[in-house]
Amino acid sequence: MEQALTIIKAVAEENERAILFHSASGKDSIALLHLMSPYFREIVCVYMYMVKDLAHINRYIDYAIKKYPNVRFTQTKHFARLSYEKNGAFGCVQNVNQRLWKLTDISEIVRKQIGIDWLFFGFKQSDSLNRRLMLRSEGYEQNAIYRKGRKCYPLSSYKNKDVIQYIEREGLICPERYDNGQSSGTNIADVNYLMWLRKNFPDDLKKVFSIFPQTERILYEHDYKTAKAERDGND
């Protein structure tokens, strides 16, 4: 992770404080916070939630706060949650006046509220074509530092396996896995995510149902189809 450290130090030399958009349970966030922690006096982690106060997420937040004395967390609604609320998706309470914000909008709001200029993200070029094009575009020093927007992406050049190996080597908390690969828990309509919660954190599943009641139907239909397939297979 030498390149990531070089990038982090370049920003830290001019700034004592930083904001990190942190997914709590994701590998990139876990690794990046560990890399950043020695170089800033204060790091404010911003967790964007779909459903607030889930036990399996809070354990990651508690872990980070205990491990890094210079870290604190603040939470705000995920931009996908705001979109769901505007449209009343999955049975959530509808607010037709809700503005549709993007990550850029939330970033600027958080920056002003907290009063810290530099924003850090765990984006990697290997994540998607759009991210690769963005991080390789003009104005991004080392494909990672965007001084005009005061944004930094230290993991830009790394792949998932690099991040996992770093986490294992440093003995950090293991990132969450929801059976199908997603680690952020933002896709509340993903049946694999719902099944994982039912098996491991049933109280968290109840909280998801309380905010998005129609997701219970997704799980019910999956169970029905699975049971029917088993019955048909035994005939």
How much of the chain, in percent, has pLDDT values that exceed 70? 96
**Residue 9 pLDDT > 90:** yes
- Tokens standing for residue 89: 């998706």
The 10s digit of each residue's pLDDT in 29-55 is 999 999 999 999 999 999 999 999 999
pLDDT digits (tens, 9 = 90+) for 167-203: 999 999 999 888 665 556 678 999 999 999 999 999 9
Report yes or no: 185 and 58 within 8 Å, Cβ to Cβ.
no
Write out pLDDT tens, residues 17-26. Answer: 999 999 999 9
Residue 154 sits at the vertex; the CA angle it makes with 82 and 31, to the nearest 5 degrees, is 75
pLDDT at position 83 is 95
Closest residue by Cα to residue 186 from 93, 54, 86: 54
* Measured distance CA(20)–CA(164) in Å, rounded: 19
Is the confidence at residue 8, as pLDDT, over 60? yes
Instruction: Return phi, psi of residue 102, to 5°.
Output: -105, 175
Asked: is 2-176 a CATH 3.30.450.40 domain? The reply is: no
Which tokens go with 25?
Answer: 């349970």
